[in-house]
Amino acid sequence: MRYIAGENTQSALQVASALQDQGLTSTIDILGEDAVDLAQARRAATDYVQLIDDIARAGVERNISIKLSQLGLRVNQEQTAAELFRVVDAGAARGFFIRLDMEDSSVTDATFEVYRRMVEQYPRVGVVLQARLRRTADDARWLGARQANVRLCKGIYRESAAVAFQRDERIRRAYLETLRVLLTRGAYVGIATHDIHLIERAEEVIAQVGSGPHQVEFQALLGVPMRSTLLRLRDAGYKVRIYLPYGSMWYAYSLRRFEENPKMAWTIAKSLFRPGQLDLSA
C-alpha cells in the first residue's frame, strides 16, 4: 500500500534506508491498537523491543512511534506502563527517541500520565498534541514550560463540539496558536501536517518567534503526495521526518486516512494494487 511501508520489518527498514539516501529521516510504527487483553499487549511490547534491535543493526535513524492502546491502555494502565518501560529501557540502551502517539480524547489524560512517568526517567520520550482539541492550549503551556519534544498535528479522530473545534479554519488557527506557545516556551516541535497553506503559515511563526531548524522539524505520513514541499523544507535546512507504519493491520489505518481526507479515496483504492511503493510525488 502507498501509505504502508510493507507488512514486515525488513520492508519498513528498506523504505527508511531509501528515505535516508534522499536526506529525509523517519519514525517507524508497528500498526495495531486497542489490545483486548494483557497477552496481546505483551506481544506488542516484545515486537517493539525486537524492532529496536533491528533498527539499530540497520543503521537508520533510531526513532519509533507507539500507540499506548496497543500496549493495553484501555485494559490496564499500570500494565501498559510496565510494558512501555520495557520498550523504553531497550531504546535507552541504544540511544532511541520514542514518541507516544496520541489517540482519541477518551485516553488523552491517561496518555499524558504515562508520558509523565516515562519522561522523568528517560528524557528522549516525546508526545503528541492535537490542535483541534479545546484542551490543547493548556497542555501546550505545560509541555512548553518543560521544553518537551512535541509532535503537533491537527487531529483526525471524530470528537464532539464540546471537546474539539469542528471548522477547518478554527483548527488551523488553534494549530498556529499552539505552535507559537510551544516555540516561545522552548519546546522542540515536529510540525506534522499535509496542509501546504498551514506549513507556510507555520514558517512565518517560526520566523516571528526567532526559532529555526534547531527547534523544529516537519513531519508527513508516507505516501502523501507533497514531495516538492518536503524537499523545499529539507533544502532550507529543516529536518524532514516521514512516518512509516508497517504491519498486517494496514486496513484500519488506511480507513482512518480516508476519513481524514475523503479526496484521497481514489489514491487509496489504487494503492491497494500497488503494494510496497515509496511514493513522495508532488
Q: Which listed residue (101, 139, 180, 257) is catalytic?
A: 101
Helix (H) or strand (E) holding 189: strand 188-192
Reply yes or no on whether 101 is catalytic: yes
Helices (H), 22-135: 38-58, 77-92, 108-121
| Alpha carbons 150 and 118: distance in angstroms, whole number | 14
Reply yes or no on whether 170 is catalytic: no
Helix (H) or strand (E) holding 97: strand 97-101
Q: Which listed residue (2, 62, 132, 151) is catalytic?
A: 151
Instruction: Collect contacts of 163-166 with beta carbons under 8 A, ≥24 apart.
Output: 163/105, 163/133, 163/134, 163/135, 164/105, 164/130, 164/132, 164/133, 164/134, 165/132, 165/133, 165/134
In terms of Cβ atoms closer than 10 Å to its own Cβ (0-12, 13-18, 19+), residue 231 is middle
Catalytic residues: 101, 151
